[in-house]
Structure 1
Amino acid sequence: MKRKLLTLSVASVISAGTLIAPLSSNYAFAQSIKEKQKSVQSDIQKKKAEISTLSAQAKEMESEMNEITAKVNDTNAKIKDTTQKVNDTKQEINELQAKIKETKQRIAERNKVLQDRARSIQQSDGSDSYLDVLLNSQSFGDFIDRAVAVTTFVSADHKILKEQEADKKALEQSEADLNNKLQEVQQELSKLEDLKSQLKYQINDKNSILAKIKEEQESAKGELGDLQDKAASLAEQEKAAEAEQEKERQAFRTTSSNSSSHSSGNSSGSHSSGSAYSAPSDGPVYHGSGAIEAAISAGSSIVGRSPYNWGGGRSSADIQNRSFDCSSFVRWAYAMAGVNLGSITGTSTNTLVYQGRAVSASEMKRGDLLFFDTYKTNGHVGIYLGNGQFLDDNSSHGVSIDSLNNPYWKATFKGVVRRVVE
């Protein structure tokens, strides 16, 4: 009898253990799903924060674009006004030139009158001068008549001379006015050209950055959608696992209630996993003879053949296709010369501005890094070539050689220079 009871007890324990084993397995599976859900939800929150940041950046960039558009509209109005000034000035020039021609004609005619009058008096009675005319009078009455005539002639000549002098001064003043007018128009046109040049660079920069931000927004939204789909799938898996657990618990309760003996047991398990990622450290910066010329040679080899790509140059595909932005281009050019200015993915103007050592603008030499305040402080970088020229990758022309005398670059260069190779 005791052997029979023992057999039944053992059977109950085995039966219960058989049910508990899959129950524990499903519990672990459910816990695994929950951990995955936590991870996915964390990724979703991060992705939403990323999208929010990108949206704020896009909004800020659009605000800046609106400001530039307002400047463009203002500039267009100035262009219209200046064009009108140019036309008005040309009209005034034509009128002044006509007046100058007319004045010269009057002076020539008056000179001829004086010459004819003097010739006429000299030919009268063979006289050679006004004095001879008076001395050759036949009588006192004739003397008086001649004196009156001479006085009239002299007065008329004096008047003509005064008029000539006045016309001459008017002509000189007209010439001065004309020169001043031309100078004002030239200055106005020069300012207008500088303004147009600066706005062109600004608009290209902002459009390029805004397009890249929107591209990243769309990519982030797509990734968020994938994460949300994954979260929904995990929720379905969790629901199914819980249903399976409930079925097994119910089966266990039924079996236990029918058993002649009851035993209980529990199992516990733990699962932990972890991983850590450590970014590889950058190699040491190489300072070698000829590194500057090697870097410039590498960069110059793609002038006019590498379009600007904001955020580009940070993958092997981009580097193979020579698709860079300003900072990745500079990093690549020096990397080709064996000089390490930072990691492929982590290099930006913010990191390059701390490479090497600072030198003053008056001491900059070939190979130094020049920084420009474009869309932000030190927002653009290039390699100095000497003679006021530098090699860079910009949103207007891609990889190109630009001049510090260009109004836009001249206005944005604040003297920040770093020497990375001695």
Structure 2
Amino acid sequence: MIKKMMMLLCTAIMLAMGFMNPLVQAESVNYLENLKPELKGQVQPIISKSDQEVPQVKNELSGINYQIQKVDQAIRDNKKMIVQAEADIIETTSEIKQLKKEIVELEERIAKRNEILKERAISYQASGGGDVSYLEVLLGSESFSDFVDRAGAVVMIAQADKELLEQYEDEKRDLKNKQDSLQHKLTDLTEKKTEHEGMQAQLEEQQKQYNLRKEQLAKKEEKKIALKVESHIKASHLTVSKQILDNSAKATDVSAAPNTNQGTNGNKNSVITAGYKYIGNSVYVFGGGRTAYDIANGRFDCSGFVHWAFSQAGIKVGSSTDSLKNSGRQISVNEMQPGDLVFFDTYKKDGHVGIYIGNGKFIGSQSSTGVAIADMSNGYWKQKFNGRVVRIS
């Protein structure tokens, strides 16, 4: 556009010279010849700068588009997990209802057997309003044959009562086992609901991040268009330059972070620095970081990232917050050193874990940012830090 404007400017000058007298025309030609290098010297750097910056913006747009695709895929994966969790909750609830029904039926059968025992006791052990023992029944025999018959009847009655009592005890135990099973199901269901709520919160955070990235993409597109308009070249140049400076400052902060770990051993330093390549190039996925596909595409949850980072230094640790908090040895906050694990109460107790890197900061996979360095000395993470620090030896 600037080249075209230069051509139009030169044409206008030439046309204007057609109306001038020869002396003025000659002076204008000389002036124009002298002006051309100056104009070229002023405009050409702007054109060259724009030619350099447009590919940079396109590359940045391509990177953001790629990041949006990863976030979008993560959202779809998390939605599938939520749908599965809801299906499991429905199935568990149905099983609980069935258990309750079976328990009611057991109680009814036990009550009926109690009535049978009562009736038999009344029929064979009570007479004339008084209690009669089995011995009295036998002594009341009128003959030896009657005695044998009565003895056989008493044995049969006693055996039947014994079997009923044993069956009663068996079914009582069965009832207790089913009640225990029911309680276990209820506990699992409660935990699953808590996990479900946690996933919902993480999904909302990821959706929020997705929208922010879309806004960034729209702004970048606007800047790309602005670069093509001559009247906005300077403004666009300043904006892009500022972004480059901002990105350079962030890169400097990230590269400076490992310097805080000079006091740690080589293994811990490897643990800390392993994840830096994923900063700004990863996404939080619940259950992520356990497969080669997830690792290649920067898809981690908090415990999956910690497990992977330690594996890069040849150190085996668990892949869940529960297993990680019971690994190594717990130390006080005052003893905290780079490479230690720090825990946070987010959607549940010890719901989030990261790797301390020094200066009140930790690296971890956060639901809103993916792998990033976060400040636990103030704000949200200070509020959520529960004081649990674990050192992996």
Normalising by the residue count of structure 1, what TM-score does the alignment of the two structures yield? Answer: 0.52
Aligned-residue RMSD, C-alpha: 4.2
CA contact (8 A) 1:391 1:402 kept: yes
Please list the CA deviations of residues 82-117 of structure 1 after superposition, one character each: whole Å capped at 9, or x if unmatched: 242243134224313423432442353244235424
Does the C-alpha gap of structure 1 residues 23 and 62 become closer, same or farther in structure 2, counting only changes over 3 Å? Answer: same
In the TM superposition, residue 161 of structure 1 has moved relative to its aligned partner by: 1.9
In 2, the alpha carbon distance for the partners of 1:224 and 1:175 equals 73
Give the number of equivalent residue pairs.
271
Partner of 1:403: 384
Partner of 2:217: 213
Partner of 1:47: 53
Instruction: List aligned pairs for 1:6-25, cutoff 5 A.
Output: 23-25=29-31
In 2, the alpha carbon distance for the partners of 1:391 and 1:349 equals 23
Instruction: List aligned pairs for 1:80-229, cutoff 5 A.
Output: 80-117=86-123, 119-120=125-126, 123=127, 128-226=132-230
Please list the CA deviations of residues 301-342 of structure 1 after superposition, one character each: whole Å capped at 9, or x if unmatched: xxxxxxxxxx9xx99xxxxxxxxxxxxxxxxxxxxxxxxxxx
Select which of 22, 41, 44 maps to 1:38.
Answer: 44
CA contact (8 A) 1:85 1:185 kept: no
Return the structure number with greater relative CO, CA threshold 8 A, min gap 6. 1
Please list the CA deviations of residues 337-360 of structure 1 after superposition, one character each: whole Å capped at 9, or x if unmatched: xxxxxx989643751662673342
Does the C-alpha gap of structure 1 residues 223 and 18 become closer, same or farther in structure 2, counting only changes over 3 Å? Answer: closer
In the TM superposition, residue 69 of structure 1 has moved relative to its aligned partner by: 3.1
In 2, the alpha carbon distance for the partners of 1:414 and 1:49 equals 46
Instruction: List aligned pairs for 1:349-368, cutoff 5 A.
Output: 351=253, 354=256, 357-358=260-261, 359-360=337-338, 361=340, 368=360
CA contact (8 A) 1:370 1:383 kept: yes
Partner of 2:32: 26
Most deviating of 63-72 and 357-366: 357-366
In 1, the alpha carbon distance for the partners of 2:129 and 2:96 equals 55
Instruction: List aligned pairs for 1:344-383, cutoff 5 A.
Output: 347-348=249-250, 351=253, 354=256, 357-358=260-261, 359-360=337-338, 361=340, 368-374=360-366, 379-383=372-376
Consecutive unaligned residues of structure 2, counting only runs of 5 or more, are 1-21, 262-336, 343-355
Does the C-alpha gap of structure 1 residues 119 and 147 become closer, same or farther in structure 2, counting only changes over 3 Å? Answer: closer
Does the C-alpha gap of structure 1 residues 414 and 378 become closer, same or farther in structure 2, counting only changes over 3 Å? Answer: farther
In 2, the alpha carbon distance for the partners of 1:376 and 1:210 equals 14
Instruction: Kindly provide the amino acid, as one letter, of the partner of residue 85 in structure 1.
Output: E
In the TM superposition, residue 52 of structure 1 has moved relative to its aligned partner by: 0.8
CA contact (8 A) 2:361 2:375 kept: yes
In 2, the alpha carbon distance for the partners of 1:377 and 1:172 equals 47
Partner of 2:379: 391
Select which of 59, 65, 85 maps to 2:65.
Answer: 59
Does the C-alpha gap of structure 1 residues 366 and 345 become closer, same or farther in structure 2, counting only changes over 3 Å? Answer: closer
Instruction: Kindly provide the amino acid, as one letter, of the partner of residue 70 in structure 2.
Output: E
Please list the CA deviations of residues 139-164 of structure 1 after superposition, one character each: whole Å capped at 9, or x if unmatched: 22322332233233223322322331
SS at match of 1:137: coil
CA contact (8 A) 1:349 1:380 kept: no
Instruction: Kindly provide the amino acid, as one letter, of the partner of residue 369 in structure 1.
Output: K
SS at match of 2:204: helix
In 1, the alpha carbon distance for the partners of 2:176 and 2:76 equals 44
In 1, the alpha carbon distance for the partners of 2:142 and 2:56 equals 118
SS at match of 2:141: coil
CA contact (8 A) 1:54 1:217 kept: no
